[in-house]
Amino acid sequence: MSASETFIHRFEPATAPGPAPLLLLHGTGGDENDLLPLGRTVAPGAALLSPRGRTLEAGMPRFFRRLAEGVFDEDDLIRRTHELADFVEQARAEYGLPAPIALGFSNGANIAAAMLLLRPQVLSGAVLLRAMSPFAKPPVVTLAAKPVLIVSGSFDPIIPEENAARLAAALSGAGASVEHRSLPTGHGLSQADLGLVRDWLAQRLALAA
């Protein structure tokens, strides 16, 4: 089965040598087009792989089900994370890609965090924008200095700062190289997010070169 048969998605090939590909994971109500402009802005020339979540909530695409705001259906989350990881591996084979850096917002950031904890070999790193801890009890995993940037909003009405800090601690405890930043903003993204992500990615790509 091809990647196109498992997830509706957009793929933009790299236009410059060097940058790691980005796996773009939208928030609730988004689709495969949502984060393409963000990806082009923060990683010029990088290949972009952007799937659409396969779960619907009141007609809005998501990557996994939730029981209430901030309360996840962890059984569904586990299943959907493995489905998405399988898609990434299929897409890598089809498009000739190295392991991507996940760039996820909100619901997309949460499933990216789950993928780090369940299928860490699929990703080379992650940028988690407005993420929260996906599991009440994180699985035991070794992340071997995998680079992760978590960007929270200090005025975010959806995600308590304690929850984002707990995610950062869980990933750090698993061995990831985590940078957790909090910006004076809410749940939505700001220009400060774009600058921070662009600089972080540029530094990581320079270190990997």
Do residues 36 and 3 touch, judged by C-beta distance below 8 A? no
Using the 8-state DSSP alphabet, how is residue 122 labeled? G
Active-site residue flag, 156: yes
Active-site residue flag, 124: no
> 31, 76, 86, 187: which one is catalytic?
187
> 9, 34, 50, 106: which one is catalytic?
106
How far apart (Å, rounded) are the C-alpha atoms in residues 66 and 81?
A: 14
Q: How buried is residue 109: exposed, middle or buried, by Cβ count under 10 Å (0-12/13-18/19+)?
A: buried
CB proximity list for 132: less than 8 A, separation 6 or greater: 70, 110, 159, 160, 163, 164, 167
How far apart (Å, rounded) are the C-alpha atoms in residues 146 and 57?
A: 32
> 152, 156, 180, 193: which one is catalytic?
156
Active-site residue flag, 180: no
Helix residue ranges, H only, 43-131: 74-95, 107-118
Give percent helix, percent strand, percent coil of the chain, each to the nearest 5.
40, 20, 40
How far is the first Cα of the chain from the last one, in angstroms, to the nearest whole number? 33
Catalytic residues: 106, 156, 187
